[in-house]
Amino acid sequence: MKKGFRNGLGIVLALALCFVGAIGQSVLQTNFGKTEIKDRNTVTDSGYTQVMRTYIPENATAENKAPAIVVVHGGNDDKELMIRYALELARVGYVAVTIDMYGHGESSYLPDSEWLTSGRGVYDTVREIVTWPFVDADSINLMGYSRGAKACGEALEMDNEELNVVKNLYLLFSDPIYQNEEGYTDVYGDRNVAVLADLYDEFFFTEKANNAGTYSNDANRFMQTLTSPVDYINTPSAQSFLHFGENPEGLEVREDHTVYEKDFDGVRATREINIIDADHMAGHYLVACIQDMLNFFTRVVPSPIDAGSAASLVWGYDIFALIGMIGLFMLVVFMASAIAQNSRFFKEVKAEIPEMLPFAGRNNKIWYWVSVAIGVLFNIFVIWWLNKMQLSSWHDSVFRSTRFVYIPLICVLGAIFTLLVSTATLYKNKKQTGAVENAQLNRIIIGWKAVGKTMLLAFISIAVLYVFIFGIKYFMGVSYKFTLWGFQTFSAARIPYMILVAPMLTLFYVVTAINNDGFGYTNVLGKNKVVNGLLTALISSLPMIAVLVYFYGSFRITGWNPMFGGNAAAGASVYVLPVTVFVMVIMCRKIYERTGNLYLGGFIAGFITSIMTSSVCEIRLPEADEPFTISWLIIFLIILAYVIFAGCMKYYSKCWKVESK
Pairwise CA distance, residues 521 & 359, whole Å: 9
Tell me how far apart the alpha carbons of residues 380 and 545 are, in angstroms, rounded to a whole number: 10
What count of Cα atoms within 13 Å lies in the side-chain half-sphere of residue 502? 16
328-346 burial: b if 16+ Cβ within 10 Å, else e: bbbbbbbbbbbbbbeeeeb
pLDDT at 185: 94
Q: Which residues are CB-contacts of 381 (< 8 A; sequence separation ≥ 6)?
A: none
Is the distance from CB of 598 to CB of 518 less than 8 angstroms? yes
C-alpha to C-alpha distance for 81 and 73, rounded to whole angstroms: 7
Q: Quote the pLDDT of residue 349.
A: 94
Q: Distance of CA 265 to CAs 243, 262, 331, Å?
A: 17, 10, 62
Neighbours of 277 (CB within 10 A): 10
Residue 144 and residue 146: Cα distance in Å, rounded?
Answer: 7
How many helices (H) and strands (E) would you count in the chain? Answer: 17, 15
CA dihedral 213, 219, 224, 230 (to 10 degrees): 70
- In sign, the C-alpha dihedral spanning 571, 574, 576, 577 is negative
Measured distance CA(314)–CA(626) in Å, rounded: 45
For CA atoms 164, 170, 173, 175, the dihedral sign is positive
- What is residue 565's predicted lDDT score, i.e. its pLDDT? 41
Contact 488, 616 (CB under 8 A): yes
Q: What is residue 225's predicted lDDT score, i.e. its pLDDT?
A: 78
Residue (of 477, 488, 446) closest to 599 by Cα position = 446
Task: Mark residue 88 as left, alpha or beta (left: phi above 0; alpha: psi -120 to 50; beta: remaining).
Answer: alpha
For residue 376, give the 3-state DSSP assignment. Answer: helix
> How many residues are present in the chain?
661
Tell me how far apart the alpha carbons of residues 258 and 256 are, in angstroms, rounded to a whole number: 5
- Segment-wise mean pLDDT, segments of 10 residues, the chain, 661 residues: 75 97 95 94 91 96 96 93 94 96 93 82 96 96 95 94 96 94 92 97 85 53 79 96 96 97 95 96 93 95 78 86 97 96 93 85 84 87 83 84 87 91 83 67 90 97 97 94 90 93 96 92 92 95 89 91 61 87 97 95 97 90 88 94 95 80 59
Burial category of 657 from C-beta neighbours within 10 Å (exposed 0-12, middle 13-18, buried 19 and up): exposed
Give the angle subtended at the CA of 121 by the CAs of 119 and 125, to the nearest 5°.
Answer: 110
DSSP single-letter state for residue 224: P
Say what the pTM is. 0.94
* Residue 474, Cβ density class (10 Å: 0-12 exposed, 13-18 middle, ≥19 buried): exposed
157: DSSP letter = H
Q: What are the DSSP calls for 397-449, one per residue?
A: SS--SGGGTHHHHHHHHHHHHHHHHHHHHHHHHHHHHS---HHHHHHH---HH
- CB neighbourhood size of 413 (10 A): 24
CA distance 456 to 239: 60
For residue 141, what are the β-bridge partners? 69, 168
| DSSP for residue 518 | I
* Domain 31-309 CATH assignment equals 3.40.50.1820: yes
Q: How many CB atoms lie within 10 A of CB 629?
A: 10
Using alpha carbons, select from 242, 659, 584, 201 the residue that is nearest to residue 429: 659
For residue 185, count other CB atoms closer than 10 A to its CB: 16
* CA–CA separation, 153 and 130 (whole Å): 18
Sorted by where each begins, the domain ranges of the chain are: 31-309, 363-619+628-660
Cα 122 from chain centroid (whole Å): 21
